[in-house]
A and B are shown apart, each in its own frame.
Chain A
Amino acid sequence: MKMKLFFIILIGVLQLVLSSCEEPFEGSSDIQGGQIVIYGRVSNLLDDTYVEIGITKNKSSKPAEVEGATIQLIDGEGGITEFCEKRLGIYAPSDIDFKGTVGEEYSIRILLPDGREYVSSKQEILTPTVIDRVNAEFVKREVIRETETSSILNFMELTIDSDFIDLEEEKFIRWDLEETFTIFQTVFPSPMPRYFTCFVNQNMSLQRLNLVSTSALSNSKIEGIYLGDRLVDYAFGVKHATEFFQRRINEEAYNYWIDIEKVSTISGSIFDNPPAPVRGNVSNSQNSDEIVLGYFEATGSTVRRFFSYGAELSEPQEDPCIFSGFRVNYASYCRNCLNHPNSSYEFERWYATDEEF
């Protein structure tokens, strides 16, 4: 509830009583970018360990990817796992079967092509906790737009039931949501029509962090933990999979994510706490004054999946890439489905076989 207080905190108290308003502000700012961002995760799950390196840009939330880094994952006994660049700026263990060991401590060492070296603190993979059930319910919501007109939209409301077994030991949990869906490239009339299918795998963009400390709970078994609403759009046209990750993290990581939540969910109400820069556990080993953004964490993770099919929805979604003789403008990913962020021609095996675990 403590986190929730800051999150929900009386957003509309004054809006309620009065005609309070908000409008874009183009005032003074000092957006320059240039800070390095390092996010790393080691997990007990397959394909769940990676490091992402970027440099912040002016007026862009997506940092510029840093290529050519040398990354080592070091375990508590000095054992080293080498990483290779899987995608631009994203590095994963060279051993594709790598899974972190529960109870083991890990740290990372990163060497950039320009010679800068970064190291993280040690983080231990804690014993994962159990997901009882995941729930996805399709609901209609009235949404007030910035133009102050309202409309009814379909959403997928995601909740989870979990069992933390006992509350003797304080546990810190973060839930992540990822999604995988299919997009078809537009088939334009041609003597030799080209059929391409891409698969998008990405973090669900909810701009919301789901965190809990079991010290705040009276019952180890909790039901209906609300994780977020996903707007039902073209991603649900064919097949959509939601992955629920329940990640057990340590207290230091929990406090870091709480701070991230505070600065990323500011509502602008009169109750907002002043924002501040958030610093993680990665530092430049040659220059301790350099600001390094991001965090390296070890997670004991559990995953459950939920699948939905376009044909089963009460209001099927229209394919935005379907060819029409009267249309001129197509989204760039309709012309080339690889233009869609986080897309590829490959997909995970569980996506094809509907594996829920």
Chain B
Amino acid sequence: MHFRAVFLIVLLLPIKVFGQAIASSDTLVIVGSNPANQTPQLMLSGSVETSGGIALPNANIKVKNQWKGTSTDDNGNYEMKMEPGRYSLMVLHVGMDTLDVDVIMVESGSLKFVMNESLVSLDEIIISGSKPSDNFEENIAGVERVPLSEIMKMPAFLGEADVINSITFLPGVSRAGDGASGFNVRGGRADQNLILFNQAPLFNSSHVLGFFSVFNSDIIQGVTLYKGHIPVNYGGRISSVLDISERAPDFEEFKIKASISNVIAKATLDIPLKNQKTSILLAGRISYSDWILNQMEDPVLRNSSAGFYDVNASIFHKEKDHLISASFFRTGDNFQYSNEFGFEWSNTTANVGWSYLIDERWNNDLKASYNNYDADFLDLQGAEAGTLKNGLKYFQFKDEVSFEINNDHILLGGVEYINYQLKPERIQPNSENSSLRSDEVEKGQGHQIDFFLSDELTINERFKSSIGFRVSNFIRTGPDQIYIYDTIPPALATEITDTLVFENGEKIADYHGFEPRISFTYILSKENSIKLSYNRLYQYLQQISNTTSATPTDFWLLSNNYILPQASNNYSLGYFQNFGFGKFEVSLEGFYRDQQNQIVFVDLPDLILNPAIERELVQGKGRAYGVEFLIKKNLGRLTGWLSYTYSRAEYFIDNQFSEELETEKWIPSPYDIPHQFSFLMNYKVGLKNNFSADFVYNSGRPYTGLSSAYILNGTVVPNFSDRNDFRMPSYFRLDLSFTINGFIGQQKKYKDRLQLTLYNITFRKNPYSIYFRTPVNFKFPQAYKFSVLGTVFPSITYSFEI
């Protein structure tokens, strides 16, 4: 809380007895007792943790009215040199109430800050997930953090706070449209984003094909999106990294948190064990949309069903220098369209982690993960009724070691190994009357082992560098069969001349990539800086999908001797400025990305159950470039941000192999959205209520239009133009929400809130696709605009915490 009415004097005695003083909000602390011992340089050290005893890394401790401050390390500890005197300290952390503490430094000593979770709107809302000065001081260009508190305030579709939706308001991030699964960063494909949950990659992050994400906001600690400089400890995708971490449970108090809305209910339990060193976090979320379907007039819709669920279970155990955790996450969707067709998918992730503070300088983080993903498409009718299955599983091991040479110099190194086991794409009949023949196509396995090392150095007060590299090594193995063609590339081949069969584990191809990751920050003055970064990235696993949004029939494919690894060079240059002691942040960032071996599908490819999938694609060059502008207001009753992005994303197939596949010019990619504008605002109403609004405008995506039409053997056939020659109408949406904190009454043991949301309040029918449908009676094809959301969506969500 940011009230300054209460002062608490903590005397030297408790410091001596318990090792350190404890400061909560609005506290005056005297550190030291004997003025005679004053020395010019004193050391204030200690820790920052939650009221539940959880250490808070990256908390910012700032000396007001001075350009001075520090932040906590991974274990929540800090050290700060100070001279004797009186100071006003401000302690900030994502999702926590800001602490204001007055300190009188008498001699060196220890001080523990205890922060409370922010449950109500405050006078000061920290928009950035990190400390305000990170905007210009942090040595990473193109990183965005969205604090959970901010996600919770955003107007959300059907009242369900959504991590993925929240990041689409950031500059350079877009979506193909309402309901599109995944997101696109700087013009990249959705499968070029690495989505990590507790450091484990996820392969499907969307429910109901993109309307909700799989992340339950009640157990999320924070969201970080790396779109410019990608730290060396991340790899495997060429566009961005979205790192989502689960919060640790409360170690002291048993807590229940639950919410209910029109279509979704969820509950979370924090269960500390008696020793206060071990705690369990349980969470579940389930949808119940069938009652809406039952209201539909269309009998087909009435007989349909759709639903999803998530289950999270984690246990954390902390010792003095150790934090051990184990977590389990299962999520899934099911959908059935009357008795005609349906799909279901599930994803199970389990991981264990051990964070070990070897000594004050050395820290070791070990992580092992297992993931199993299954997707089924069901055709329930007719002579070809069947189930199409695909999926994958992987085992991941990662060890990160950091060594702090001194406060200004940190080394980070490690190794990461992933064994991908792609499941065969399989089809089988699912009824006795089906004449469908069972079939399967092997997808093979792969091993990726990466080594990484970086050197984070603050050269002087103005100049910081991060120089590192990652070496990725990939081996593609069987079981699989590889075809030999009469010509290369296979897309031009007329026949298969030979077939090579590879047994389980037998090597098919191997690739290596050197990935430099370099970033520099030059601090121009107390509140502005410029940042420059260069990154090279490799990707050995790609999603085979020729649709705008992922579908249940999409599958993942590892690079082989025909499908070369995708690679990108990423350049960023940005100017960052803070105003008013972090009240405002401004950034202007330009980027350029060139891509090699970009996958482009041939016209009308046959992707399902195709053992020669390489014949359906070609690989070319890609490029994306643009400028991103962002202004944030972090403090005051009115907070929020406004962003504008101009960017282009294009690809080019040269005639290295054949003129037939060559594109004569750069072709706009399906995610080429030149203009993106968005703003988000939160306004505190009274002491505990909050009004939020968001707005997004995107210029239209490219599509392939109609050139003419003709009748062939009784069928009207549209004759289409060259690829992506036209543009859809632009997209815009305005959403509003009003949150009443303490709806029944705010009490110490019972906290609740009611959120009213109006989503798409302008009733705008934003285009998802333009398509041409041919009516019967040989009429000319009519162009239609398909809009996923055609109206406003009101919702009410009530949540409480005990």
Contacts and interface: CB of A to CB of B under 8 A. Distances in A.
Whether chain B is bound by chain A comes out as yes
B364 interface: no
Interface in B745-802: 765, 767-791, 793
22 contacts: A1-B436, A2-B609, A13-B209, A15-B301, A17-B289, A17-B292, A17-B306, A18-B179, A18-B788, A25-B767, A28-B727, A30-B705, A34-B708, A56-B709, A150-B298, A207-B776, A217-B436, A222-B383, A226-B383, A270-B788, A276-B720, A294-B712
Interface stretch (B135-143, B238-246, B352-360, B545-553): B545-553
A103 B19 CA distance: 97
Interface in B164-206: 177, 179-180
Contacts of B793: 18
Nearest to B299: A142
A285 interface: no
Of listed B337, B715, B774, residue having the most chain A CB within 10 A: B715
A276 B704 contact: yes
Interface residues of B, number: 106
Given A62-B711, A62-B778, A222-B383, A21 B787 contact: yes
Contact of A24 (B297, B429, B609, B784): B784
A25 B435 contact: no
A273 B605 contact: yes
A10 B717 CA distance: 22
A96 interface: no
B774 A61 contact: yes
A270 B549 contact: yes
Contacts of B708: 31-35, 56-58
A267 B778 contact: no
A17 B427 CA distance: 28
B768 A13 contact: no
Contacts of A34: 708
Contacts of B704: 274-276
Contacts, number: 290
Interface string A240-283: 00000000000000000011101110111111111111100000
Of listed A10, A56, A61, residue having the most chain B CB within 10 A: A61
Nearest to B775: A207
Interface in B11-42: none
Contacts of A216: 384, 436-437, 439
Interface stretch (A66-74, A198-206, A307-315): A198-206
A27 interface: yes
B432 to A, nearest CB: 11
A24 B282 CA distance: 48
Given A8-B341, A17-B208, A63-B711, A1 B386 contact: yes
Contacts of A11: 337
B721 A20 contact: no
Given A37-B710, A144-B298, A266-B772, A1 B721 contact: no
A293 B297 CA distance: 42
Given A30-B721, A216-B439, A61 B711 contact: yes
Contacts of B427: 1
A276 to B, nearest CB: 3
A339 interface: no
Contacts of B377: 5
A194 interface: no
A263 B337 contact: no
B782 A274 contact: no
Interface residues of A, number: 93
Interface in B683-727: 703-727
A260 B720 CA distance: 11
B382 interface: yes
Given A13-B337, A28-B727, A54-B710, A20 B786 contact: yes
Interface string B638-681: 00000000000000000000000000000000100000000000
A8 B340 contact: yes
Interface in A55-102: 56-63
Contacts of B209: 13-14, 270
Interface in A191-245: 202-209, 215-219, 222-226
A224 B725 contact: no
Contact of B785 (A22, A205, A269, A295): A22
Given A4-B384, A14-B209, A270-B549, A293 B719 contact: yes
B635 interface: no
Contacts of A24: 782-785
B220 interface: no
A8 B343 CA distance: 13
Contact of B773 (A17, A26, A206, A266): A266
A260 to B, nearest CB: 6
A267 B384 CA distance: 20
Contacts of A144: 297-298
Nearest to A164: B435
A287 interface: no
Contacts of B439: 216
A16 B718 contact: no
Contact of A10 (B551, B606, B705, B775): B551
A142 B298 CA distance: 9
Given A219-B435, A223-B383, A264 B715 contact: yes
Contacts of A293: 710, 712, 717, 719
B355 to A, nearest CB: 41
Contacts of A205: 714, 776-778
Contact of B436 (A31, A39, A63, A218): A218
Contacts of B289: 17
Given A21-B765, A35-B710, A266-B771, 16 more contacts: A16-B306, A19-B790, A20-B787, A23-B784, A23-B787, A25-B770, A142-B299, A203-B714, A205-B714, A206-B714, A207-B715, A263-B604, A269-B786, A270-B549, A273-B605, A293-B712
